[in-house]
Amino acid sequence: MTPATTSANPGIEALAAPAAVSFAEAFRFWLKLGFISFGGPAGQIAIMHTELVERRRWISEQRFLHALNYCMLLPGPEAQQLAIYIGWLMHRTWGGIVAGALFVLPSLFILIALSWIYLRFGDVPLVAGLFYGLKPAVTALVLHAAHRIGTRALKNRWMWGIAAASFVAIFAFDTPFPAIVLAAALIGHFGAQRWPAVFALGGGHGSAKQGYGPALIDDQTPTPAHARFSRIHLAKVLAVGLGLWLLAMALLVAVNGLQGTLTLMGWFFTKAALLTFGGAYAVLPYVYQGAVETHQWLSGPQMIDGLALGETTPGPLIMVVAFVGFVGGWLKEALGPDALFLGGAVAATVVTFFTFLPAFVFILAGGPVVEATHGKLGFTAPLSAITAAVVGVILNLAMFFAYHVLWPHGFGGHFDTVSAVIAAGAAVALFRYKVSVMPLLGACALAGLLASQFFPLTT
């Protein structure tokens, strides 16, 4: 493809456009990204912007943000979908598959190892002390996520009302998360027809800024042939995606039965993957309802521990589902009592496959029609309402975590003052000083370890 050489900064007009990037070079970058993508979606997107837009100039900022805005409208991890999109734009379907797979595979292997350590040595005082400090940090992180999403989504009283209604629905009436998503989508769809200004909230990523020099895929670079809309291509992607899902599910049913742990996990996390509007924090309440309350694959405190582990690894935060799968496969003896580790590892892999398969289908099928949907109120209004509802759901999740951390034995038990102090300190660090996730978790884990030396653990 022939890149354009336009630039808003005369000082960089003399820069040459980057040479064409080989598939092998792109493969090495996506592999590296899989190991350094810490910091959640915001951090991962910032890393990709620095590497791909500013440093390597593989894609212009305008094209980068255009792809990002599309990914923000989809269920699933937007940072991983952005990697799929750029990989697909540069090197066709296999480029997208490699970029998306390498974004999550390192964290899958790391989480399998950490989950085994957690189950095998979780009662060791050293490990228990570390998790004692991590749990309050997770509570503060979830509360901060509610605030962060709320500042972007709750732009008027209507959106505040949707958020409040969703909180009441899940807190007071235990309404299933899918029902809340559906109700919010309907409100957005019909509300936009009557009050369009209420739901026309605009994007949250700002306008494109030029000044990095000509890019390989620049603003004026023509759309490559493989990225243009084709009914045949769309049908192929949908057929392959659905075929892979059916093949994997049929294999699980044949080996594990309709009510087997692995089969139930495959079906449950397929549904979860289609409901992750608003990022990982948004789907966690649904995962909790199903994994903890319905299927009892793990306990509430274990769910908090899993989120802490997910925060410490690269890759999307929704990779916490791999921890859920491993613990569930281990405790439910998915492959028998003599193969606990293998059962957990297979369960983690199954959960990861069914969680991320839709992300590939959404990008490979929807990428060519992104121009037809971007910026249309009829398409974005339901998602604006869903994002507002997600704020209320995440707030409920923060209260759930706080309850288990501060009253580990229920309201009838004692109040855990040490955990409260750690949680308050973590909240101040996040809200006031904007401390990043990894230093925060490290400091809280150290605080928990020190506290465990002087106070008996209550969890």
**Do 32 and 127 have their domain in common?**
no
Q: What does 238-272 look like in DSSP terms, one character per residue?
A: HHHHHHHHHHHHHHHHHHH-TTSHHHHHHHHHHHH
**Do 239 and 261 have their domain in common?**
yes
**Do 268 and 293 have their domain in common?**
yes
Tokens of 9: 């900064």
Q: What is the spatial distance between Cα 174 and Cα 339, in angstroms, rounded to a whole number? A: 36
What digits encode the pLDDT tens for the residues 115-166?
999 998 877 778 778 888 888 988 888 888 788 778 877 889 999 999 999 9
Please report the pLDDT score of residue 1 as a whole number.
47
Tokens of 266: 């495959």
459 within domain boundaries: no
Q: What is the spatial distance between Cα 2 and Cα 214, in angstroms, rounded to a whole number? A: 11
Q: What is the spatial distance between Cα 86 and Cα 60, in angstroms, rounded to a whole number? A: 11
**DSSP summary character for residue 50:** I
Please report the pLDDT score of residue 362 as a whole number.
94
Please report the pLDDT score of residue 14 as a whole number.
53
Q: What is the spatial distance between Cα 437 and Cα 100, in angstroms, rounded to a whole number? A: 23
CB 370 within 8 A of CB 67: yes
Please report the pLDDT score of residue 278 as a whole number.
61
**Do 33 and 168 have their domain in common?**
no
Q: One-letter amino acid identity for 287?
A: V
**Do 61 and 181 have their domain in common?**
no
CB 61 within 8 A of CB 209: yes
62 within domain boundaries: yes
Please report the pLDDT score of residue 40 as a whole number.
64
CB 303 within 8 A of CB 92: no
Please report the pLDDT score of residue 197 as a whole number.
83
**Do 371 and 443 have their domain in common?**
yes
- Taking alpha carbons only, the member of 50, 52, 45 closest to residue 87 is 52
Q: What is the spatial distance between Cα 99 and Cα 52, in angstroms, rounded to a whole number? A: 13
Query: How far separated are the first and last CA of the chain, in Å rounded?
Result: 59
Please report the pLDDT score of residue 5 as a whole number.
42
What digits encode the pLDDT tens for the residues 217-246?
887 788 888 888 889 999 999 999 999 999
**Do 284 and 194 have their domain in common?**
yes
Tokens of 218: 């620049």
Please report the pLDDT score of residue 205 as a whole number.
35
384 within domain boundaries: yes
CB atoms within 10 A of CB 151: 11
Per-residue CA distances from 433 to 420, 426, 427, 440, 448 (Å): 19, 10, 9, 11, 21
Please report the pLDDT score of residue 211 as a whole number.
63
Please report the pLDDT score of residue 4 as a whole number.
43
Please report the pLDDT score of residue 35 as a whole number.
87
Overall domain count for the chain: 2
78 within domain boundaries: yes
Domain that holds residue 329: 107-204+230-454
Q: Which of the listed residues 49, 66, 101 is the one where a domain comes to its end?
A: 101
Q: Which of the listed residues 71, 101, 131 is the one where a domain comes to its end?
A: 101
**Do 284 and 380 have their domain in common?**
yes
Please report the pLDDT score of residue 450 as a whole number.
93
CB 74 within 8 A of CB 383: no
222 within domain boundaries: no
**Do 53 and 122 have their domain in common?**
no
Q: Which residue has the tokens 């990989």?
A: 87
332 within domain boundaries: yes
For the chain, which residues score pLDDT lower than 70? Answer: 1-15, 38-40, 42-43, 69, 201-211, 277-282, 371-377, 379, 456-459
